[in-house]
Amino acid sequence: MSTKYVYFFGAGKADGNAKMKNELGGKGANLAEMTNIGLPVPAGFTISTEVCTYYYAHEKTYPPELEAQVDAAMAQVEKAMGKKFGDTTDPLLVSCRSGARESMPGMMDTVLNIGLNDVTVEALTKASGNERFAWDSYRRFVQMYGDVVMGLKPEKKTDIDPFEDLLEKKKHAAGVHFDNELSVAQLKELVAEFKAAIKAKTGLDFPTDPKKQVWGAVGAVFSSWMNDRAIVYRRTYGIPHEWGTAVNVQAMVFGNLGDDCATGVALTRDGALGTPGYCGDYLINAQGEDVVAGIRTPLRIEETLAKDMPKAFEELDSIGKILEGHYKDVQDIEFTVEKGKVWMLQTRNAKRTGFAAVRIAVDLVEEGKITDKEAISPKRIPADDLNQLLQPVFDLAGKKAAQAGGKLLTKGINAGPGAAFGQIVFHADDAEAIFLKNPKAELVLVRRETTPEDLRGMKVAKGILTAFGGASSHAALVSRQMGKVCVVGASELNIDYEKATVTVGGKTLKEGDFISIDGFTGEVFEGKVDTKPSEVIQVLISKTMKPEESETYQRFAKLMSWADKYRTLKVRTNADEPKQATQAVSFGAEGIGLCRTEHMFFDHVDEFREMILAGDLPSREKALAKLLPFQREDFYGLFKAMNGLPVTIRLLDPPLHEFLPHDHASQADLAAKIGIPADYIARRVHELHESNPMLGHRGCRLGIVYPEITAMQARAIFEAACKLKKEGLTVIPEVMIPLVGYVAEFKNQEKVVREQAEKVFAETGESVEYLVGTMVEVPRACATADQIAGAAEFFSFGTNDLTQTTLGISRDDYGGFINHYKENDIVPNDPFQMIDQAGVGTLMKMGVEKGRSGRPGLKIGICGEHGGEPSSVVFCHKIGLDYVSCSPFRVPIARLAAAQAALADAK
């Protein structure tokens, strides 16, 4: 039996269903599903993703069986629609669209109105009784086909699109603003001019054979899988290139047949904030692209559709309810109203901001549509998206002052919540170039509208502001997904790309001027408006709001309680100050996984420098004696803040010369302060210089050569703990030795720590339980983990150094080539952000297995930066770690990711 490549849907029955996303892509699978559940879907067929894979493996050719299968499916479509493709009395027209497993909005190509030629256009005129419609459709078809299939679309956005140019000239000559104001005669002229432009550029005649047209469109859609923007998108969202796209060929229905017709896109709930009820755009008498392209600013479904087209609205409303009930999630739909009748062209689970994701998930649980387990699935709430609830918003007083000071420029549609200010940049390429030079640059990308070519620039901007387009425009959709602050459709903005200015209400702002946008309200301000913490932060951290005053907080808290119910991995924090520690506990941290003690010396740097500069033991001990009380106080504060939760304190790690002044003036300055000759300081700096300090005299190597440093730190830890014990607080310090590779290194330092503990216990008459464990951050520690675990009471993976030492890539110097590596698919992502599971991860697994063979039940955590990155958290769960430790603001993300890992495990 030959392979099935083509799947029909229509007339209430489909070959496929929603579960077949791998074969049919998201769009095709859902068109089939909607057909199966009785929704009005124009008939069509899906060519499977397998054909795309074949196409690329066989020099852009198709499987031999495909043509016959397409012909058979087309015959079924004709039967279902009661029209014939290429017919010269009442022709069926079709569309051809891409559809990958994961939606990639706007990244690939589409061709509409296929089947028109000089003969069928006349037939369409007669059949529809609307000559303007027929020629408008023909004009659009030649333009799209010319762009997409015959390659006239300019490669760079700055180049002129020949069709747009001809269209603009025609409108100018006719003295009109919009395409729909052109006369039939002018449309006919345009069709001829478009064809001439194609012939001039390609030397080819425009194809008149409808069948040839379909195959041209199918080939173009498959080819668009490998266009630059689709590749960039897949890289950004981790979609494998091997998946390929399906192609959907579907009977056209028309939203541009008159004023009882419309086309629209909508979400069944608001995608920015999650509020219930339709949220979307429509245009009367228009075709689909007009809405998303942002050419005409569309109308809002929730505001006017019920009035404009009451019957269609009612039908759409009931379809929305059926879809939400069926898919148990908010849907993003495309529809056309043809002569009052609603047709569904697409449905998919809606993209949403982190705010909306949390609200929708909690609401759906409360509506009884999903369970709490389903609510926290990574598909509904990618753990990273929680970040948006922790991001700043505009300070109300600052905003009022800006309003009173006449800084409010205009108001657009709120499409991506949050507050952002930044310098205006008009072109995505410029934004990217600025960002590459200065990754801290604060930019707001200001455009008439965005298109998929702008993706890279959008990624680096803090906010996105457009003059056209609605809540479902490209800018809105993509920003929402990226979690960017976004305002669209601020139609009063007059943007002049050539002059690099934006003018509104008599004011002109230039490129580089500051602008502020409020993604909750759509307001646009001149200059910088101060931001303030989000509601969740106000409740948890600054305590300026009570929990009952914030619904957003309450939903967040509910969600976190569900996450805690299911996760098994504990979440700690990396903190060295009581304030950070308290914040982290408010975010749900269950202990400190890493206190970097070198950070504690920043406030006492002169005494610390004196210690480093000491040339002999007595003078070093004198300097250390000065440091001891500071350290004791710092540990006391930290233990107290953690109120009995475990605290892991890592002994001194970094290369000593990092603390010393390197230029002449500051050496002289230090000499005067601590009473040591400047030339002596210069000599010590020289002596301590290392060619490769990251692999030099740091970590336990310091404490081994200078055991008095370890002794001072250990003493400070135990004195602080004993003092608190006396005050009635139980503290269980976990002392951690850095950069251990040999068990002998560990034992050497452990001895110093235990000796000090015994001394302090004897002196104070108090004792505390404590552990001595180790960082696992060099490959040798993984390879000999059984030996090390024989002595060490716990492990904590330092994946920053473990990545550095496993890959042989300096953690400080990889910025120069990592982007090149990512763009050339040499690495899937930055290994210092996401654990390199195949490499570093394999060593971690070895560390866990060997470690626990040396000490059954050994407690193991991670404290490298990866501990707050969701995919790495999932990995840590899988390999059996006990906890992850991350920066305070990532604690909620790690809690959610840990629950997602546990639930995935249970499946």
User: With CB under 6 A as the contact rule, which of the stretches 296-304, 342-350, 707-715, 796-804 interacts with ligand PEP?
Assistant: 796-804
Pick between residue 418 and residue 655 the one whose CB is nearest to ligand PEP: 655
- Among 470, 458, 444, residue whose Cα is nearest residue 526: 444
Pick between residue 653 and residue 719 the one whose CB is nearest to ligand PEP: 653
Pick between residue 474 and residue 866 the one whose CB is nearest to ligand PEP: 866
Binder of residue 734, out of Mg ion, ligand PEP, none (CB less than 5 to 8 A by kind): none
User: With CB under 6 A as the contact rule, which of the stretches 423-431, 435-443, 576-584, 797-805 interacts with ligand PEP?
Assistant: 797-805
Binder of residue 864, out of Mg ion, ligand PEP, none (CB less than 5 to 8 A by kind): ligand PEP
235 is in an annotated binding site: no
Distances (CA, A) of 651 to 4, 571, 595, 712: 64, 21, 9, 10
Find the binder of ligand PEP among 257, 265, 594, 788 (CB under 6 A).
594
698 is in an annotated binding site: no
653 touches ligand PEP by CB under 6 A: yes
Q: H helices of 541-658, where?
A: 551-566, 578-586, 597-600, 605-613, 617-642
596 touches ligand PEP by CB under 6 A: yes
At its nearest, how many Å lie between ligand PEP and the CB of residue 574? Answer: 7
887 touches ligand PEP by CB under 6 A: no
Using CB under 6 A as the binding rule, the residues of this chain from 860 to 879 that contact ligand PEP are: 863-864
The pattern of x and - marking residues 507 through 546 that bind ligand PEP according to CB under 6 A reads ----------------------------------------
Helix then strand count (H, E) for the chain reads 37, 34
Judged by DSSP in three states, 517 sits in: strand
Binder of residue 424, out of Mg ion, ligand PEP, none (CB less than 5 to 8 A by kind): none
Given the residues 279, 700, 863, 876, the one annotated as active site: 863
**CA–CA dist 296, 303 (Å, integer):** 17
At its nearest, how many Å lie between ligand PEP and the CB of residue 594? Answer: 6
Element (H, E) at 150: none
Tokens of residue 92, six digits: 């069926």
**CA–CA dist 364, 360 (Å, integer):** 6
Residue type at 108?
Answer: M
**Beta-ladder partners of 282:** 264, 299
Tokens of residue 454, six digits: 């702008």
Q: Which long-range contacts (CB under 8 A, 24 or more apart) does 575-581 make?
A: 575/638, 575/888, 576/600, 576/634, 576/638, 577/637, 577/638, 578/637, 578/638, 578/640, 578/641, 579/641, 580/888, 581/638, 581/641, 581/642, 581/888
798 touches ligand PEP by CB under 6 A: yes
801 is in an annotated binding site: yes
Find the binder of ligand PEP among 472, 667, 799, 887 (CB under 6 A).
799
By residue count, the chain amounts to 907
777 touches ligand PEP by CB under 6 A: yes
> What does 479-496 look like in DSSP terms, one character per residue?
HHHHT-EEEE--TT-EEE
- Among 412, 401, 548, 529, residue whose Cα is nearest residue 475: 412
Given the residues 427, 474, 657, 877, the one annotated as active site: 474
Find the binder of ligand PEP among 147, 801, 836, 882 (CB under 6 A).
801
650 is in an annotated binding site: yes
Pick between residue 457 and residue 798 the one whose CB is nearest to ligand PEP: 798
At its nearest, how many Å lie between ligand PEP and the CB of residue 862? Answer: 8
800 is in an annotated binding site: yes
**CA–CA dist 46, 52 (Å, integer):** 12
Residue 863 bears catalytic tag: yes
At its nearest, how many Å lie between ligand PEP and the CB of residue 346? Answer: 45
799 is in an annotated binding site: yes
Binder of residue 594, out of ligand PEP, Mg ion, none (CB less than 5 to 8 A by kind): ligand PEP
User: With CB under 6 A as the contact rule, which of the stretches 40-48, 482-490, 659-667, 792-800 interacts with ligand PEP?
Assistant: 792-800
Pick between residue 518 and residue 801 the one whose CB is nearest to Mg ion: 801
575 touches ligand PEP by CB under 6 A: no
**CA–CA dist 449, 487 (Å, integer):** 11
**CA–CA dist 777, 806 (Å, integer):** 9
Pick between residue 676 and residue 778 the one whose CB is nearest to Mg ion: 778
**Beta-ladder partners of 94:** 114, 251
Positions touching Mg ion (CB under 5 A) are 777, 798, 801
Pick between residue 323 and residue 844 the one whose CB is nearest to ligand PEP: 844
Pick between residue 265 and residue 863 the one whose CB is nearest to ligand PEP: 863
620 is in an annotated binding site: no
Q: How many CB atoms lie within 10 A of CB 672?
A: 10
Judged by DSSP in three states, 510 sits in: strand
**CA–CA dist 583, 628 (Å, integer):** 26
At its nearest, how many Å lie between ligand PEP and the CB of residue 394? Answer: 34
Pick between residue 592 and residue 594 the one whose CB is nearest to ligand PEP: 594
Judged by DSSP in three states, 90 sits in: coil
Nearest 10 degrees: CA dihedral of 313, 302, 333, 324? Answer: -80
At its nearest, how many Å lie between ligand PEP and the CB of residue 593? Answer: 9
**CA–CA dist 851, 790 (Å, integer):** 8
Binder of residue 461, out of Mg ion, ligand PEP, none (CB less than 5 to 8 A by kind): none
Question: Which positions touch ligand PEP (CB under 6 A)?
Answer: 594, 596, 653, 777, 798-801, 863-864
Q: Supply the residues annotated as catalytic.
A: 474, 863
Q: Residue ranges for the binding site for Mg(2+)?
A: 777, 801
Q: Residue ranges for the binding site for substrate?
A: 596, 650, 777, 798-801
Q: Residue ranges for the binding site?
A: 596, 650, 777, 798-801
